[in-house]
Structure 1
């Protein structure tokens, strides 16, 4: 282990002592020790998403002891590698999504992850910006390419299109040659159009969003990526064409409709190879990340509150160092 980590026994991190409790900044959390196939990251930044509230509230059980460090992804410098790690070395700048997790999360000075979850950060992003990529990037890439299998010429609906997953998904889907229909608030129409959306639906002003989509696409949309929770998720099911397919990320769809497929049990997992592909796309100019705001480490609760208010364009990131 490097002197930076090895000379210290403890670290700071935002943690909870039980599910449902408020997060607390703890100053004497143990720094994890890498196993043979692990990488210890000294964190530079961490991703913030509504999934962090699911963990805090106990709706997503991490199956780890308390105190439980929050945060699931981020970027940092490699502080130490396990004895069997051959593809990475100390001081490399990398990023990772750590679920299924090791001993601690990303909202800390150090995070332990399996080497299979890690990839070098894009050269086109700063280490702080890169911390906003892993979960949204992996989610958009896997759902569109492997689950929905989007192909050229298909009509693909993406709602919450200006958000974290949404703004990456619009770019990937349009890059695949799909005709992207983006649902976003009026203030974000030019933004998502600039990302590659061929049509934009104003979900705030439209009384019946499915009817508005059908007015432009009478046959319905071929594929859909639902990023919204609550009853609003059901409105988009009616926009699917017969034989259409939707990935429902929050698992919010509660209606049934014959002839369409709704996938509500998707869970993204750490994948270093897929992150490396995202790195290539960022560095080729095929993808860009929009960062809404960067918060100081001691402002982590404020960062999560902003995300939960659901008016974020792109990503919110916590700067760790």
Structure 2
């Protein structure tokens, strides 16, 4: 099978498009013929030695954590799936495999059936970003109807899904984005969009219940000032989480870091919302697997509108 593999950490030059043997199934797994995979900042950060690098085990490593494809085989102990099922998911892999490959040995308890109304490309971008948005808003942030939430980096992969999910819950949604993305976010349901380049969020809102910090660092720390007593800021970037947590502690504001976890029930909810047209996934670009460097370069800019998808 074709796959992207790294044997050392570094920039795009460590990404090798290579031929590997198909993975063998362990108990509890299904073999998936992959059709598409989502690209996230965690991917290039991990390949460069940051991100999830401390958790992936020994190199070589196939990156990628979300996918959509067709089941070709199931382990003897797997009863909930069969050959030919269309599936998608976000997966915590063992060291031997990732989603940037033609075939995936996927744990059956970390994937879900892909409904007819959800394309493979959209499903491939929904797993990690969708679960991150869901878990940040509802598991970590406990967002309720009529509350007010601020979403920093609202036009990004996680951000634009968080805007829609928060609006679906019945919250008032304030997002930050560059001016060219304001109408896009308003169409998704944002009640107010702030130009982060020229304005401070503090000039527009205060006393909010929840902030979803998709930027981190000084931007996340500054946003602590608009959180009401008893409110929460959920910070997504792992590299700056400690400094944001420390700042929140000094200001007596609750700060929650997040590391998204596989969850089939939540994947089913996300797919259902998509099928009911209550959730859309904006695809910024679809890029062939062998051109992964192009996808990583685009993601590094921090200006991607929606999700980047690798196709196989």
Task: Please classify the TM superposition score into its range, dividing by the shorter chain length.
Answer: over 0.9
CA distance in 2, matches of 1:15, 1:105: 9
CA distance in 2, matches of 1:71, 1:64: 15
* Cα-to-partner distance string for 1:220-262 (whole Å, 9 max, x where unaligned): 2110110013322222111111221011011422523433101
Q: How many residues align?
A: 303
Contact 2:44 2:296 in 1 (8 A): yes
2:99 alignment partner in structure 1: 106
* Cα-to-partner distance string for 1:132-157 (whole Å, 9 max, x where unaligned): 11000011111211211111111101
What TM-score, normalized to structure 2? 0.92
- 2:2 is equivalent to residue 17 of structure 1: no
2:86 alignment partner in structure 1: 93
2:263 alignment partner in structure 1: 271
The answer for unaligned runs of 5 or more in structure 1 is 1-10
2:135 alignment partner in structure 1: 142
Match of 2:28 among 8, 21, 37: 37
- 2:224 is equivalent to residue 231 of structure 1: no
Secondary structure at the counterpart of residue 260 of structure 2: coil
2:301 alignment partner in structure 1: 309
Match of 1:296 among 283, 288, 305: 288
Q: 1 or 2, which has the higher helix percentage?
A: 2
- Map 1:47-66; keep pairs closer than 5 Å: 47-59=38-50, 60=52, 61-66=54-59
What TM-score, normalized to structure 1? 0.90
1:245 alignment partner in structure 2: 232
Match of 1:194 among 184, 187, 191: 187
CA distance in 1, matches of 2:277, 2:173: 19
Secondary structure at the counterpart of residue 217 of structure 2: coil
Match of 1:283 among 243, 253, 275: 275
The answer for unaligned runs of 5 or more in structure 2 is none
Q: Return the offset for 1:38.
A: 0.4
* Cα-to-partner distance string for 1:63-102 (whole Å, 9 max, x where unaligned): 3332211111111111211111111111111111111435
